[in-house]
Structure 1
């Protein structure tokens, strides 16, 4: 495993319900990424924006559809990995999906498990929280609203995740919520966390930007403003061990106490 990892955060404005303009911008970002970049992280549903229930059947595609295939070719040509979101059509159902794609192919697929209000009626909820090995690290993916539930990131950490990558589409007035929670998810699980949000506006929403990279000690390594921006952060992977040197939350959990407290509370309520 390398001692460092170079990640570019691509905070973009997107066009809702259309693929072509978003794909063009994604391919340009991949082609133009700085030399030495290991990974580019894009926002939620990067390729299609947020389609409506009436649009999703027209724009959604399979994981090997034309837009995803174009991204895969760009990834191979540039020799860089990407985390990218799209509206997926799978077995006649539609999902808000993010993939980790490397030059050798798809490493990890994640379908959003916690649907925000505007997802409901457009997408079905995914049913799996999974991790995969990449570049000597165990990586997990989440999407936007997912990070508001601490169990999601904890489930990935229990699987051994070292790096949490979040595609985001968070809007005003909730920007501060995700800025606080991405820090908490990194700190409470002693992992790196990178969240890339959408910028600009669409569908009557103003997106909050604020993409961020947090180390396992809960320290901010990079934070972007509200506007479109691309910036690269270097992760010092030695900080994983450093953060766990004096205490290790996963190993020191006392889950049974929570169960005992719940049982006592129930008994008290019934008495």
Structure 2
């Protein structure tokens, strides 16, 4: 399976431009033969553009996700629509199962190549350090894992990387490919690399981290979107400029690595 990570240029207060860049990235990934393309965290409004959250919020049926579902179907490619700011009240009015019937959430949606929503993940761990996320958003409650393209695919978001127990819970559900849309800023480059690689190594699974590129008033995104294999080996990576990262990933490789090095079978509960 060919996986693409769309390291988008994300601009504050440029929702139309951000959407066009996302759609262009989907087209580019499809043209390169990718089976799945992933977008970064809050790429449509900009993670650090907190004043844009409320006016940029949409339900799951809103225009942004609808456009990406259509792009997935039109280009015959699965799309992880990064994450967007979801209006929970409007989603609830549409009959969606939401963690709260009011407020906002940092929500990632995974579409298959028919444009069908296969998984909805709302960020569990809200970032409080120099961020308004804990004040503005509601944390998610569910950890979906779905069969797609030969993998058991799960999604976590950015700050979730610092909580290994969440990845263990995904392993218990059979996840072997974890997609991590992010808005990780400078200067924490080594944290980004180390935590992502560790999550791959300790769970003997593919971990693909897709970060944004761009500058905000208080932060610069560091890019470095990367695909790690189950040994923690870097298969493909980027610098901090907008780009498309691609890598071939194999479901059978997860099984082979786990047979060769059966650390997961040796784990004990505490």
Note the 1:211-222 alignment, pairs <5 A: 211-222=225-236
Matched, 1:127 2:141: yes
Q: Shift of the alpha carbon at 1:227?
A: 1.3
Note the 1:61-140 alignment, pairs <5 A: 61-84=58-81, 85-91=83-89, 92-104=102-114, 105-117=116-128, 118=131, 119-140=133-154
Tell me the equivalent position of 1:204.
218
Tell me the equivalent position of 1:266.
none
Q: Shift of the alpha carbon at 1:175?
A: 1.9
Q: Contact (CA 8 Å) 2:11, 2:214: kept in 1 or not?
A: no
Greater mean deviation of Cα atoms: 6-15 or 242-251:
242-251
Q: Give the direction of change, closer, same or farther, for the CA distance of 1:60–1:51 in structure 2 (3 Å limit).
A: farther
Q: Contact (CA 8 Å) 1:111, 1:126: kept in 2 or not?
A: yes
Cα distance in 2, alignment partners of residues 10 and 53 from structure 1: 22
Q: Any unmatched runs of 5+ in structure 2?
A: 90-101
Q: Contact (CA 8 Å) 1:17, 1:56: kept in 2 or not?
A: no
Q: Contact (CA 8 Å) 1:158, 1:250: kept in 2 or not?
A: no
Q: Shift of the alpha carbon at 1:18?
A: 4.1
TM-score, with structure 2 as normaliser: 0.89
**1:163-217, CA deviations, whole angstroms, 9 ceiling, x for partnerless residues?**
0000010001112102111111011101111001111211320111111100011
Cα distance in 1, alignment partners of residues 26 and 88 from structure 2: 26
Cα distance in 1, alignment partners of residues 184 and 227 from structure 2: 16
- Local SS of the residue matching 1:124: coil
Tell me the equivalent position of 2:162.
148
| 2:202 maps to which of 160, 165, 188 | 188
Q: Shift of the alpha carbon at 1:52?
A: 5.0
Q: Give the direction of change, closer, same or farther, for the CA distance of 1:35–1:173 in structure 2 (3 Å limit).
A: closer
Tell me the equivalent position of 2:27.
31
> Which structure 1 residue ranges, 4+ long, deviate > 6 Å from structure 2?
none
Q: Contact (CA 8 Å) 1:140, 1:156: kept in 2 or not?
A: yes
Q: Shift of the alpha carbon at 1:242?
A: 1.8
Cα distance in 2, alignment partners of residues 103 and 236 from structure 1: 18
Q: Contact (CA 8 Å) 2:145, 2:153: kept in 1 or not?
A: yes
TM-score, with structure 1 as normaliser: 0.88
Q: Contact (CA 8 Å) 2:58, 2:87: kept in 1 or not?
A: yes
Q: Shift of the alpha carbon at 1:17?
A: 4.3
Q: Shift of the alpha carbon at 1:126?
A: 1.0
Tell me the equivalent position of 1:265.
none
- How many aligned positions are there? 252
Q: Shift of the alpha carbon at 1:251?
A: 2.0
Q: Shift of the alpha carbon at 1:237?
A: 2.8
Q: Give the direction of change, closer, same or farther, for the CA distance of 1:35–1:228 in structure 2 (3 Å limit).
A: closer
**RMSD of aligned Cα (Å):** 1.5
- Local SS of the residue matching 2:167: helix
Tell me the equivalent position of 2:18.
22
Q: Any unmatched runs of 5+ in structure 1?
A: 259-271
- Local SS of the residue matching 1:225: coil
